[in-house]
Structure 1
Amino acid sequence: MISVRGEAVLEADAEIAVLTATVQSKDHDRRRALDDLVARNRACLELIKSYGDTLEKVETGAVTITPVLKYRRREGDVHYYQGTVWIRITVVDFAVLGELITRLADGERISVDGPQWALRRDSEVYAEAARQAVGQAVERARGYAQALGCRLTGLVELADEGLNDHGGATLFSAQMASGAAMAGESEPEPIALEAAKQMVVATVKARFTTSQPEL
């Protein structure tokens, strides 16, 4: 029996980019903070959805309205109310990405984090990496068998050690406490972005039976 490990490392272009937009409001009155958050969130979503098919998904992650106390270590009066909405945006057309980021960041009380470059979960790159890893395991086992003067006769076990996706990290982060409104007189200049290459690593373990070696 011969036991081997096969590995494949592939480099591929990113297929999607993920942004997170955080919309906030702040006011001493709870209702005004809530109304302001609703208005800002609506304006932000309208801007995002205006990009149509260049986006794959737009998702609201969470909504919070939080009273912030004057004295944190003990009960006290409410200093102000803070509202927050998290919006996750999956972009498939990278040509609009720089423009979308800067237009979002130009909005008042909006934070933008991203992009996170990635492959889709069902990307063919993962399947190809797995095939190449298996092929390397077979070739390695065959090489050992030839060195021993025998041949492979069967497969006992093939174990997938998993696929590792080493994607690009966040390249841009902007937070605007105040700024021009989204419908302001002029649009900000799009930021130039270069998509990070994606490294996919696939590893397998395999065991083969062989004929008797000629030693």
Structure 2
Amino acid sequence: MVDGPVVTVRGEAYREVAPEEARFAVTALARDREREPTLTRLAERAAAIRVLLDSYGPTIDRRETGDLRVRPETRRSGERVVAWHGSVVTTVTVSDFTALGELMLRLADQDQVAVAGPWWSLRPDSPAYREARHAAIADALLRAREYAEALDARVTDLIELADEGGGQPMMARMSFDAGGVESTAVPELELDPQPQSVHAAVRARFAITRPVLS
């Protein structure tokens, strides 16, 4: 129980910072009337993607393969299989954006490969989040002092501080789709990383001295 006047304020902070990571997805595709050739082509195209990614070495921070799909295509009536479709997705994460455009275009230049992304983001432990939280607390304290000053009072103590969360950074996406068209040279692509919006908010209660209301 607080004995004395209390002021409750909300502190907020907004920041726009450069992204720290970029993710994109590479999908190898295959289709044939028979299942075995479909699986063989899918494995070969997935292996070609791995070889290309391996050539970039430490430029790639992380890659994860998932969402393997193999399904039959049937006629509208009945269960007769007329073709087999296969796909496998590899998600790639990089923090060095220097060769990102080149890498994505080289992957898109592969036979029957689709590329989607990049999705820009901050690392979960990015200092930008901590800096925004600190700024939100400073904003709350400043507001409390301004309210107290308007009453000829002053802030004396912190009673309660609650984190009200903040918005997640926005992510942008672009996509490429390669249908097996061969080219002699991969064109250059410059990507402009999308600034990430960081928001932090707190609710704080401060004790203040007795106001002068005369």
TM-score under structure 2 length normalisation: 0.93
Partner of 1:194: 192
In the TM superposition, what are the counterparts of 1:16-165 in structure 2 within 5 Å?
Answer: 16-71=21-76, 74-165=77-168
The yes-or-no answer on 1:174 pairing with 2:176 is: yes
Kept in 2: contact 1:101–1:190 (CA 8 A)? no
Name the aligned partner's letter for residue 121 of structure 1. P
Kept in 2: contact 1:103–1:187 (CA 8 A)? no
Q: Hey, what's the Cα distance between the residues in 2 that align with 1:207 and 1:8?
A: 18
User: What SS does the aligned partner of 1:46 have?
Assistant: helix
Question: CA-to-partner distance for each residue in 1:123-163, whole Å, 9 max, x for gaps?
Answer: 10110000000000000011101111212222222111113
Query: What displacement does 1:166 show?
Result: 2.8
User: What SS does the aligned partner of 1:164 have?
Assistant: coil
Q: Hey, what's the Cα distance between the residues in 2 that align with 1:132 and 1:39?
A: 52
Query: What displacement does 1:92 show?
Result: 1.3
User: What SS does the aligned partner of 1:94 have?
Assistant: coil
Q: Hey, what's the Cα distance between the residues in 1 that align with 2:158 and 2:149?
A: 16
Partner of 1:204: 202
TM-score under structure 1 length normalisation: 0.92
Kept in 2: contact 1:126–1:163 (CA 8 A)? no
Query: What displacement does 1:27 show?
Result: 0.8
Kept in 2: contact 1:130–1:202 (CA 8 A)? yes
Q: Hey, what's the Cα distance between the residues in 2 that align with 1:187 and 1:97?
A: 17
The yes-or-no answer on 1:8 pairing with 2:13 is: yes
Q: List runs of 5+ in structure 2 lacking aligned partners.
A: 1-5
Name the aligned partner's letter for residue 203 of structure 2. K
**More divergent stretch after superposition (1-10 vs 151-160):** 151-160
Kept in 2: contact 1:16–1:91 (CA 8 A)? yes
Runs of 4+ in 1 over 2 A off after TM superposition: 165-168
Q: Hey, what's the Cα distance between the residues in 2 that align with 1:21 and 1:57?
A: 13
RMSD: 1.3
